[in-house]
Amino acid sequence: MDKQDIFGQIDGIEERMGTTYAELGALKKRIITLIEENKRLSIENQQLRKLIRQEETVIEEPTRDMAEEPVQLPGAGYDNLTRLYNEGFHICNVYYGHLRTEGDCLFCLSFLNK
């Protein structure tokens, strides 16, 4: 084999590897987007099922006062944010709602510790 042929083959392999790496990066971003959307839809589905159950109990209990609003206890918002963070989402103002892919976020943790 000629030296030029060997270097030509190596250059071709290197170029294909770069293209494959770029495609892999784009695929990874798409997967992250799909995982975030899936998690968001799962949470929305749970909330809708909870609302349906609440409405079913209201229909079954006609004596209940319809003007009654559910009372939120103090700290319920904090509990919700903690739950979201534990489920793998950012709660900081920088990346709010995005999936945490690389472990803990210092911004989120500082917000929780306030």
CA distances from 8 to 17, 21, 25, 93, 101 (A): 14, 20, 26, 50, 39
The reply, when asked if residue 113 is annotated as ligand binding, is no
The reply, when asked if residue 98 is annotated as ligand binding, is no
CA distances from 69 to 1, 35, 66, 73 (A): 83, 34, 8, 12
Tell me if 65 sits within 8 A of 71, measured CB to CB. Answer: no
Tokens 């510790």 label which residue?
113
- Measured from the Cβ of residue 68, the count of other Cβ atoms closer than 10 Å reads 8
The reply, when asked if residue 108 is annotated as ligand binding, is yes
The reply, when asked if residue 105 is annotated as ligand binding, is yes
Residues in binding site: 90, 92, 105, 108
Residues in binding site for Zn(2+): 90, 92, 105, 108
